[in-house]
Amino acid sequence: MIKIKDVSKSYGSFPVLKSCTTSVGKGDVVVICGPSGSGKSTLIKTINALEPIQSGEIWVGDTPVHDTRTDITKLRAHVGMVFQNFELFPHLSVMDNLTLAQIKVLGRTSDEASKRGLKYLERVGMAAHQHKFPSQLSGGQQQRVAIARALCMDPVVMLFDEPTSALDPEMVGEVLDVMTTLASEGMTMLCVTHEMGFARRVSNRVIFMDHGAIIEDCSSKDFFAKSEERSPRARDFLAKILSH
């Protein structure tokens, strides 16, 4: 589904990604974790070209993301992205947030887009709020709307960039529940998160990054249950994050 080969990126002389290589199969649920500034969010954003790369290759199916001739708008239509801060249009209602890209990018009629929007609002438990504006919703509700918006585009993969980090603790669970349901239904997912309980329970792979490099890329079971086999940096990370 996704292939990342020798991907490097720098901001000026500062390396952000260093020869990152990994792949994601259909139906995989991959958690990307690591300390702040390790390159996690940058890596996930390269998959739909939100962050350009200097070298390497990225493929989504048969589409070469790294090729300047690739139609990035068409690519993004099928790579769902959920951000830390929701990124909903504040001047549009919930339903209009869900239908806009369907109409403008996929060419659906207003009725088709609304029908699909309602379907996914029901799926995330937000159908009763379809006429509200984002400012009238809690953070957890806004994030569930953002997930529904991404699903409306029929994505082949869903990318989550720290989807719960801006939420109050009480709202985290409702978003993770939606993500858990998507994973159980076979959605291919990559998720940058510090929610290690979710990573242990739902993901089948963990990628651990530090200083722009992929340090660990293994099954979730091995990452958590065989910590003695992990790198010293990963062991230190786990010891700190799992002790609280």
| Sequence-distant (≥ 6) Cβ neighbours of residue 235 within 8 angstroms | 227, 228
pLDDT tens, position by position, 198-239 = 999 999 999 999 999 999 999 999 999 887 889 999 999 888
pLDDT at 240: 83
Residues of the chain with pLDDT under 70: 243-244
> The pTM is what?
0.92
Question: What pLDDT, on the 0 to 100 scale, is given for residue 170?
Answer: 83
Give the DSSP H/E element, type plus range, for residue 50: none
Identify the pLDDT of residue 30. 97
pLDDT at 238: 87
Residue 77 is which amino acid?
A: A
Strands (E) across 66-150 are located at: 79-82
Angle at 233 between CA 52 and CA 47, to 5 degrees: 20
Tokens of 121: 């609002």
d(CA 32, CA 207): 5
The reported pLDDT for the residue numbered 244 is: 53
> Distance (Å, rounded) from C-alpha 6 to C-alpha 160?
22
